A and B are shown apart, each in its own frame.
Chain A
Amino acid sequence: MSDLKGDVIEAIQEFFREVAANNPTWNFIFFYEATQWNKVVSGLWMTVQLSVVCVLFSLVIGVVGAGLQGAKSAVLRAIVAGYIQFFRNTPPFVQLLFFYFALGQFTPTYSPDGWLEIPIISNVGWAIISLSFFAGAFNVEIFRAGVEAVPKSTQEAAESLGYTRLQIYGHIVFPLALRVSIPALNNNLVNLVKTTTQAFVIAVPELLYQSVTIWNDYPSAQYPMMTFLFFAYLALVGVVVVGMNNWERAMRIPGYGG
């Protein structure tokens, strides 16, 4: 069995070596050289981690933000509105630069050996913060639209059954708003996964960053690497879309909505 697997891999590597030998600009080096392949795998893994963590944080930000938009305090509502304006109306690329280089200067550092000064928030940390807040701003708006779609009369029925504001949000408004929000959420999360490539600018070793290091070392691998990037993101986003569609189906209420 393992012999067979080894043989197949061997054959694939041989095939791409031959392609490279015959076509100087189509050097799929990452398919036959272990060092380059490991870069691709580690880049892909970083992209997946970054996506998953940012999706989760951005969802939390969206839910909490939409809840705060209905808060009694005008100050709280103004803070949420300001946050949305800032993150929605500026490019995520600029946000990443600003967070890492401008705010990064003020982050405390620690020193494991007495010589090195390591900031407590790494570039990966800043990418997570920046991208989560970026996508979170859109999620707040998406959830708010969902919350507004829940009829006031349904909330009144809950109120007359003794539910408090918080209980109404948790048990009735949120579950209904979520269902309305899923299609728009789907779009935003797809965008978020694609936007993780911009973490490149602060040297987060995700898939695009690793790909660029490969084609810098091997210019002959540039076209193959770019082609691979397209297929890799098609697959990644495909997983997100299929997952979201299944979720939407699972959440569907018989006899309700479309």
Chain B
Amino acid sequence: MSDSNVAAAAGSWTPEQPIVSLKEVRKSFGDLEVLKGITFDVMKGEVICIIGPSGSGKSTLIRCINALNPIDSGSIRVEGQEVHDAHLDKLALRKKVGMVFQQYNLFPHKTAIQNVMMAPVQVLKQDKAEVEARARKLIAKVRLEGKEESYPGELSGGQQQRVAIARSLAMNPDIMLFDEVTAALDPETVKEVLVTIKELAQDGMTCMLVTHEMGFAREVADHIYFTDRGVIVEHGPPATFFSEAKDPRTQEFLGQIL
């Protein structure tokens, strides 16, 4: 265990290996076991979607990957580094893994551009002028030119969510986690956020999404995982997943949602 950790920490990971690797991940909240042995790998540049009914552990799963939630047993490796290691360098992990939340969670007392600039300047201690130039490009990338000086409270949900995406990207992550990022949005603004994520995916960013947007999953995902009651019931590329689901639980879920 410790030998392999040391080897992993020493940077033995190569891009040919899974960028995120989960093995037998278990997690309980009190008596309720929400993850009952989850195992899967994600390769660099892949886009995976996790779908499933509410309470099936999707969000918990994605939150464990950047150590927002600890796990009880099993292993999660990001670029070869064990996430649930007491000696984990959390900053190093969080530089690699960006996260976008359902409720955007922007810092309400800072303008859009300040939200994007804060972490690189305050956490990574990068040069402010250089970060600002990058932040302006990111704001443009998420199509919010002209909104740089707006406060989150002055922006629509979709605009706030795109600022949140730009804020995560400002840390130059290798992997992006999206936790039901369109669930709180008006139907009209869902599309603008999905377009932004799609462009990211096309640029080669490794993306893991928890989503209810089946059309989007079908279009963008390389691989779809269906979870129910803490286990992966079924998975596959969208082409086969949607048309050839075998498990009755998957069929029932897809029948309700499509």
Expressed in whole angstroms, the minimum distance between the Cβ of A153 and any Cβ of chain B is: 5
Please tell me which stretch of A105-113, A116-124, A155-163, A241-249 contacts chain B, meaning at least 4 of its Cβ atoms lie within 8 angstroms of it.
A155-163
The one of B123, B151, B152 that contacts A161, using a Cβ cutoff of 8 Å: B123
Are A256's CB and B108's CB within 8 A? yes
A-B contact count (CB 8 A): 72
Whether, in the assembled complex, A187 has its beta carbon less than 8 Å from a beta carbon of chain B, the answer is no
Given that A154-B105, A175-B109 are contacting pairs, would A159 and B119 also be in contact in the complex, using a CB cutoff of 8 Å?
A: no
- Provide the bound-state CA to CA distance between A175 and B107, in Å: 10
Question: Which size class do B's interface residues fall under?
Answer: 20 to 34
- Provide the bound-state CA to CA distance between A162 and B122, in Å: 10
Given that A161-B171, A162-B95, A253-B109 are contacting pairs, would A156 and B122 also be in contact in the complex, using a CB cutoff of 8 Å?
A: no
Given that A153-B103, A253-B109 are contacting pairs, would A167 and B154 also be in contact in the complex, using a CB cutoff of 8 Å?
A: no
Are B109's CB and A160's CB within 8 A? no
Are B167's CB and A156's CB within 8 A? no
The one of A156, A167, A175 that contacts B123, using a Cβ cutoff of 8 Å: A167
Given that A154-B107, A161-B171 are contacting pairs, would A253 and B153 also be in contact in the complex, using a CB cutoff of 8 Å?
A: yes
Are B90's CB and A162's CB within 8 A? yes
- Report which residue of B90, B94, B107, B150 has the largest number of chain A beta carbons within 10 angstroms of its beta carbon: B107
Are B168's CB and A161's CB within 8 A? yes
Given that A162-B119, A163-B119 are contacting pairs, would A153 and B105 also be in contact in the complex, using a CB cutoff of 8 Å?
A: yes
The B-contacting residues of A in range 123-164, CB under 8 angstroms, are: 151, 153-154, 156-163
The A-contacting residues of B in range 46-81, CB under 8 angstroms, are: 66, 68
Expressed in whole angstroms, the minimum distance between the Cβ of A133 and any Cβ of chain B is: 30
- Note all chain B residues with C-beta closer than 8 A to A194: none
- Provide the bound-state CA to CA distance between A157 and B164, in Å: 9
The one of B101, B123, B124, B171 that contacts A157, using a Cβ cutoff of 8 Å: B101
Expressed in whole angstroms, the minimum distance between the Cβ of A257 and any Cβ of chain B is: 8
Given that A153-B103, A256-B109 are contacting pairs, would A160 and B123 also be in contact in the complex, using a CB cutoff of 8 Å?
A: no
Extra inter-chain contacts (4) besides given A161-B119, A162-B123, CB under 8 Å: A153-B103, A154-B107, A161-B94, A256-B152
